[in-house]
Chains A and B, each alone.
Chain A
């Protein structure tokens, strides 16, 4: 069996009887065991997987086949999964077994997918390196000294290392796209509102969006089709046409924003230029666009995301569930000790800065100002989409960096998100896909599309990937 087979290949293998869902499940479980040092998983539900695989084999035999029947996928540990630990990689939720399935989990189950486990991540999705997890860092399968990116680092590394067919992730300021880029996989952050947030533990409500990490744009589209759609449980979810990854391709105007390209390192510029030429060779045309407020995006992002996080995380008070400090003397102690012990330092930093940004006397200068600039950033994109159909940018200023290189320097760490936060602030869909290597590490590029333009992005991605093989590269299997 090929651990790097696409969802499409696995589908036909299962349907043709080349292998059973049970065999496939055992295959991936064994690989997960063997790759334990990567620390991709917080929970592996071997028993549940095998039971689900048996049901899938029955369904296949009965010709009740959904698009993902029998396909093992993993969920980022930010999604609530009924009966399974849902920790958000935090000590705070180290004991939280969710009593319900997130809408995304439920929909993927209905499409037939088997939940093989829950992937590691930055605590409460706060981090760009997967080093803030209570369960320890995830290693990049391309170079175990390097980070896999974050916060969906476990998901990206699991796909890259062939430990699951695909994974879910969540993206608030780049948390799907940057790890996809660092691990050489394809990740999509959908338009805000396309995928229900119900059951996806909130970090920053106005930015959070669930999405797929997969081996290709095509696989990402298959997962997205199962995940997307209006959900009455999420007031911010949208009614939109389903994504069509086979939408007819046409000659596109590809916007090249100087603000994203000018300061790029020579080695990444070389890779990105090559990708641009490939796209041009497919009949598309590069056009310059301007996104003048780009340089404010990261600051704006950290004010807004922090503000929202500071109140979203207030529910973790040690009263009803989650970590509670031992023998508090009074209510004040109960709150203070439970939260001091339960949250890691990056989470505390965000809560503190966010609380500050919302406080009387600072609200106007920080939160309100950030919202005003957010509108300008959004308007930049709307203007640019008057000139171009999609926008092509790098995903990250660098390839995967070494562990502990930035963790003590939050500002530098935050700067990692410079190319991903603007689309988040504007609520736009953005696809991260491999487009080359630099010093033997994967490099990703980003397609940013207009609102609900996923079909455009994924179709272009599929077209690019049919012309190139960057997405098919995988790290050496160190236990083969």
Chain B
């Protein structure tokens, strides 16, 4: 039996989070009434001209810097000509052979903890098309041009991904990167990131690539993995039954979990690319690049290293935190308040994540400000409150708001660490439970927990657990 290896390259279309479109002043907001975000330029009225949105250029540069790529000192836009009802000009403005971002690399950490640098061939700017709506009007097609002209950064990877899981990990990493850079809102279900996958298989160890197929428009991490797994199996089955893989475009049907042939590439279209004479070549001076460089946030790879090596988090904790750039930013803000980083990570990945999950919200609208969570954790550390009390304060903060110190004071939640007072409580409990005292003295050490519980109950959880332990041991042995 031949052992097969998949070779995958992804083209990811990232919608840039500019306020207006790449060549017009219309807004890019999602979900508006059809065509309300389409102005004269977007609907391609006679006589209109495109004007490049500088913000889109800055965002592309930011991405280029993040993947350590060469930024073109000069690039240009080309027209890609084809007719389609939701392509108003009859051509798409794109970049053919002078992309703004050249070759770069993206380090990917895979599930097993290994890290590999994936080559990025190029990234170029282009405009999105509108949408054809086939369902709203009986027998007619509606055209919504709100999306037409939304800036896209098309990021093309090298064919250096060798399984569906690796491809999904790359897509996920890219998602983390563009959201950290704040150049994309990352809303996959609104189509903010769309992925085309080129895939071929070859006998493991072979150098020559097999014939590839392209799977169009897969828009979630899960579907990328499932579509590719299906396609790998399909191609293997074709080859093992003596057939040939045909160069073609395929569509993934997530409901049936299969890919289907869309069109053969044999009759490939001639897009008649040529430089768009309406737009001058874009000169990118060093000063512009430097002005973008100073706005660069800490990148996921650097963040991961810092979490592990400086803050002492585990691979797992670091990975989970940087998965969501807003979560990582929240963690950074909490950790900055000289809180024990490990404790902060535990709480954010535990209690905070659980509460977000429960209320179905995200870090965008987390109800507890980072400084309050930081204070809460600091009060645990300085033994003002117990961990148990902290959980109840957390719930209060989450649901009702308020300040940690205010709640501690107003509700008298300060940890009970007055030795004499605690001794009084302990001796009362010892006299209340003589049987259990006997068991302890016979060597059943485990019963100590029972006494701790009783003390906590009697003090409403406020007793300093360390002190309670000490006093209990001393008194029980007496």
Contacts and interface: CB of A to CB of B under 8 A. Distances in A.
B46 A80 contact: yes
Given A86-B46, A315-B46, 20 more contacts: A79-B47, A86-B47, A96-B46, A99-B40, A100-B45, A197-B49, A201-B47, A202-B47, A202-B49, A204-B277, A234-B51, A235-B50, A311-B81, A311-B91, A317-B90, A319-B88, A321-B45, A359-B270, A359-B272, A367-B274
A198 interface: yes
Interface in A292-312: 307-308, 310-311
The 6 closest A-B pairs by CB, nearest first: A314-B90, A206-B277, A205-B277, A358-B272, A199-B47, A315-B44
Interface in B263-304: 270, 272-274, 276-280
Interface residues of B, number: 29
A211 to B, nearest CB: 16
B366 interface: no
Interface string A210-245: 000000000000000000000011111000000000
B198 to A, nearest CB: 21
B51 A235 contact: yes
B85 interface: yes
B90 A235 contact: no
**Candidate in B45, B46, B90, B279 with the most chain A CB atoms within 10 angstroms:** B46
Nearest to A197: B49
A197 to B, nearest CB: 6
Given A233-B49, A308-B277, A359-B270, A314 B43 contact: no
Nearest to B282: A235
A205 B278 contact: yes
A199 B48 contact: yes
A232 B277 CA distance: 16
Interface of A: 79-80, 86, 88, 93, 96, 98-100, 102, 197-202, 204-206, 232-236, 307-308, 310-311, 314-315, 317, 319-321, 331, 335, 355, 358-360, 363, 367
B272 A311 contact: yes
B83 interface: yes
A151 to B, nearest CB: 16
B143 interface: yes
Contacts of A321: 45
A360 B273 CA distance: 9
Nearest to B85: A319
Contacts of A233: 49, 51
Contacts of B50: 235
Contacts of B280: 235-236
Contacts of B45: 80, 98-100, 321
A98 B46 CA distance: 8
B277 A198 contact: no
B52 interface: yes
A335 B278 CA distance: 25
A97 B85 CA distance: 21
B88 A315 contact: yes
B462 interface: no
A93 B47 CA distance: 12
Interface string B59-101: 0000000000000000000010101010011110000000000
Nearest to B145: A320
A314 B49 contact: no
Contacts of B47: 79-80, 86, 98, 102, 197-202
Contacts of A358: 81, 272-274
B52 A235 contact: yes
Nearest to B40: A100
A398 B40 CA distance: 42
A315 B273 CA distance: 16
A320 B88 contact: yes
A198 B50 CA distance: 9
B248 to A, nearest CB: 20
B275 to A, nearest CB: 9
A107 to B, nearest CB: 15
B174 to A, nearest CB: 31
A198 B49 contact: yes
A314 B51 contact: no
Contacts of B43: 320
Interface of B: 40, 43-52, 79, 81, 83, 85, 88-91, 143, 270, 272-274, 276-280
**Candidate in A98, A310, A320 with the most chain B CB atoms within 10 angstroms:** A320
A201 B46 CA distance: 5
20 contacts: A79-B47, A80-B45, A86-B46, A88-B46, A93-B46, A98-B45, A199-B47, A200-B47, A201-B47, A202-B47, A202-B49, A235-B50, A235-B278, A236-B49, A314-B83, A314-B91, A315-B46, A315-B88, A315-B90, A358-B81
Contact of B51 (A88, A205, A232, A308): A232
A335 B82 CA distance: 12
A339 to B, nearest CB: 10
Contacts of B89: 314-315
A250 B112 CA distance: 81
A102 B88 CA distance: 20
Contacts of B273: 358
Contacts of A311: 79, 81, 90-91, 272, 274
Nearest to A88: B46
Nearest to A92: B46
Contacts of B279: 235-236
Nearest to B41: A233
A20 B13 CA distance: 61
A360 B80 CA distance: 13
A331 B81 contact: no
A275 B48 CA distance: 41
A99 B46 CA distance: 10
A197 B273 CA distance: 23
Contacts of A88: 46
A319 B79 contact: no
A422 B90 CA distance: 30
A288 B48 CA distance: 42
A355 B269 CA distance: 13
A236 B276 CA distance: 11
B95 to A, nearest CB: 15
Contacts of A86: 46-47
Nearest to B90: A314
**Candidate in B44, B81, B274 with the most chain A CB atoms within 10 angstroms:** B274
Nearest to B80: A311
B278 A236 contact: yes
A98 B278 CA distance: 21
Contacts of B91: 311, 314
Contact of B270 (A99, A307, A308, A360): A360
Nearest to A96: B46
A319 B279 CA distance: 25
B218 to A, nearest CB: 26
A97 B89 CA distance: 18
A86 B51 CA distance: 23
Contacts of B52: 235
**Candidate in A80, A236, A315 with the most chain B CB atoms within 10 angstroms:** A315
Nearest to A198: B49
A80 B90 CA distance: 20
Nearest to A202: B47
Nearest to A335: B83
